[in-house]
A and B are shown apart, each in its own frame.
Chain A
């Protein structure tokens, strides 16, 4: 493979050529209710060529290697067409030349566990959910594992041969009463350990209890509240509300956005620190080398409340005169790398949960998330579980809690950061453009935010 790939990227009439070839083995297991809805294995073999010619990009992806020379030519021709139309040329920031083989380092290797054993483990959880009580009417237990062997060669002499693992899943209890259905999930994930799938019996009991209680919970009253986000939701918040805005491809060609995202600008209080890191083994956002061959670098985005960095690819780094950060990621061989997050974290502060709580006369404690979205300026996400806070104490469970806000105001409105940093891995993934779900991580402590708009029932 090495000699083939190195030979096609060399000596081409192009500024830069890279080729990536990968083979992934994907296993999916999913129970819904009593039935095994999915049990499948996919072999995904394919690759791509990306060429930069006279400052324009061309990209071709494929499943068959036999016409590789031709595919390289096609990418080059497309790049040439782009460069003829586009006046301003793309450039690439320099990166070190890497020649490296990265074998997989795993704790409990899912490939050594039989399909039968995996299925039985999940089936057990499913049985526990379905036998919880009469109001639990259905379930969803899912598991997905992807092992990838990846080869990457560039015309600059970089060669990386890498093994990667991503596994994730979730347990969901679905409760029904009359026409009302409520659900609560627990997600898990890892890039090096099947062990995270074990020992979830207590979680099963918890999600069943909450799903059942949600059947009797009122819809939250819409309005503006002080909100405490648990570490999972705080993670989703930092990802949605700030991480996406930090992706440099948003700003590279937009002078107004570059102005707004000027390094040195204050975004939050002095106790707010946010970073993105690719070198946490085990995290789903573990990316020791990105998909341009750039080594991972821990990148502070906000330090003591001030914007200090952003997430770069080689192209955006060159454009903005900064250093690449190792954030150029592609979902798989079907896509070119773009600026993406890895493990985005809020550093712990010094507030205890009790202290955050006791100062709130009326508020909401929001836990976990069904997912979120951002458009750059505004964000929104739905809490999986939420309680009213009344007179400094946790009060009744409420449902259908969707939080929304302006990224800039909301970061400013974070008035407490907890001391309970949590390394949680979820089952979800990040979507951007049409590339998703990409495994990412988001670690955080509890945070408290003032003035959050919550959509809900009639006022």
Chain B
């Protein structure tokens, strides 16, 4: 659909209007059980229209190419029943571009994507014959355009490359799954390292070791860390603040966590997957600390929650990616937790008895505002006298992250990993609860 046409149709019928059009093509190569399983291509185009009529908002989306009138009619009809709005769409802004398109990704041939997966399953066949490999190599080339009645009209293009490699060992009474994943706007040559790490995890986890229930130090892998950050992010989300359910609703400017804890929202880190020059409502993006040296610095706000709280929007109005079928809502872009001084090897060496938590299962469930995070240790490596000794199984990890990141933060590693959430270090907690059968 053409945004110009939508704007023309809205001009007479609405007080405000905003058209968001996303278009992309994604190609995915999938390996399953160490074999190429299939190739999938998606070609997608969607228009989302938000209008304000008599002070009320209406929102509708369509993937139909040709029917601008219906989309406008639907949005206007919905506005009759919609929520009253107290914000205006932003007008023309100085938008500073970001280098989000990698020619290398655009031109990445299908054959080469198949070879990437083949290299991984071959390395696995050699390094750990009893494991079966899975891999997913994806490239996405997309375009976003946002136009509104206040005169904002900008677009950007973007590529996203994603590489996932994993392995599974199935034995009677013992399943083991390990994986690595990276994603970003460019095609970085780190795939061999990830392939090696999968083999290393298989080696470390080949022996199961008992752990008596108790409280132990925990080193949280960057891949498991988002489960622990979830209560923090839920608490800084403008919706939770506005509704009064965030425990941090009145704590802006207060020191809430350890002073080594600095968490950034970095939408302008061009190499990370969730970067954009402006948010999905037309607010230019800005890198900013959410928590700086343990002090709560800001809430994540879209236009609506910013207006409700009487604060300026923070450029965190995002739509579901990549389908964009819902209204924008506040959320982080790329999370960057500032690394520390200690090397991961030192962290491990300095652990008398503790668990390296590489992935948690089910820890996303539950009520985030309590700070309580509880999940099955999907992959955990027991460390005894500074040495990894084997895999801990049948074990629940639990901690209250509001307390843990305030009182039990022992160290942050200097190594970081790029994950789906952003760039994160390893975090060592002095104590966490591990419930086991033993």
Contact = CB atoms under 8 A, between A and B. Distances in A.
A257 interface: yes
A116 interface: yes
B14 interface: no
Interface in A107-149: 115-116, 119, 137-138
A159 B435 CA distance: 54
A422 interface: no
Contacts of A404: 362, 376, 394-396
B245 A402 contact: no
A441 to B, nearest CB: 20
A12 B244 CA distance: 60
B437 A78 contact: no
B18 to A, nearest CB: 13
Nearest to A182: B367
A402 B366 CA distance: 8
Contacts of A39: 58-59, 78, 81-83
Interface in A346-382: 370-382
Interface stretch (A218-226, A288-296, A298-306): A218-226
Contacts of B114: 81, 85
B345 interface: no
Among B43, B374, B394, residue most surrounded by chain A Cβ atoms (within 10 Å): B374
A63 B63 contact: yes
Interface in A69-123: 71, 74-75, 78-79, 81-82, 85-88, 115-116, 119
Nearest to A175: B245
A42 B62 CA distance: 6
Contacts of A9: none
Contact of B375 (A75, A402, A451): A402
Among A115, A252, A377, which residue has the most Cβ atoms of chain B within 10 A?
A377
Contacts of B70: 43
Nearest to A87: B35
B305 to A, nearest CB: 10
Interface residues of A, number: 90
Nearest to A183: B367
Contact of A181 (B78, B364, B369): B369
B378 A180 contact: no
Contact of B213 (A28, A81, A222, A408): A222
Interface string B427-438: 000000101110
Interface of A is mostly: strand
A253 B35 contact: yes
Interface in A1-57: 26, 28, 32-33, 35-46, 56-57
Contact of B437 (A37, A453, A457): A453
Contact of B63 (A45, A254, A458): A45
Interface string B367-379: 1011010111010
B366 A370 contact: yes
Contact of A82 (B36, B370, B374): B36
A198 interface: no
Nearest to A459: B213
A455 interface: yes
Nearest to A67: B43
B17 to A, nearest CB: 15
B61 A402 contact: no
Contact of B43 (A32, A63, A176): A63
B118 A63 contact: no
Interface in B29-45: 32-33, 35-45
Interface string B298-327: 000000000010000000000000000111
A153 interface: no
B64 interface: yes
B247 interface: yes
Contacts of B63: 43-46, 63
A404 B378 CA distance: 11
26 contacts: A41-B74, A43-B61, A44-B63, A59-B41, A63-B65, A74-B41, A85-B118, A86-B36, A174-B245, A181-B245, A181-B246, A223-B213, A370-B365, A373-B376, A375-B177, A400-B370, A400-B372, A402-B365, A404-B362, A404-B395, A405-B394, A406-B394, A453-B436, A455-B396, A455-B397, A459-B215
Interface of A: 26, 28, 32-33, 35-46, 56-64, 71, 74-75, 78-79, 81-82, 85-88, 115-116, 119, 137-138, 174, 176, 179-183, 219, 222-224, 249, 252-254, 256-257, 259-260, 334, 336, 370-382, 399-400, 402, 404-406, 408, 451, 453-459
Interface of B: 32-33, 35-46, 58-65, 70-71, 74, 77-78, 81-83, 110-111, 114, 118, 132, 168, 170-175, 177, 213-215, 239, 242-247, 308, 325-327, 329, 361-362, 364-367, 369-370, 372, 374-376, 378, 393-398, 402, 433, 435-437
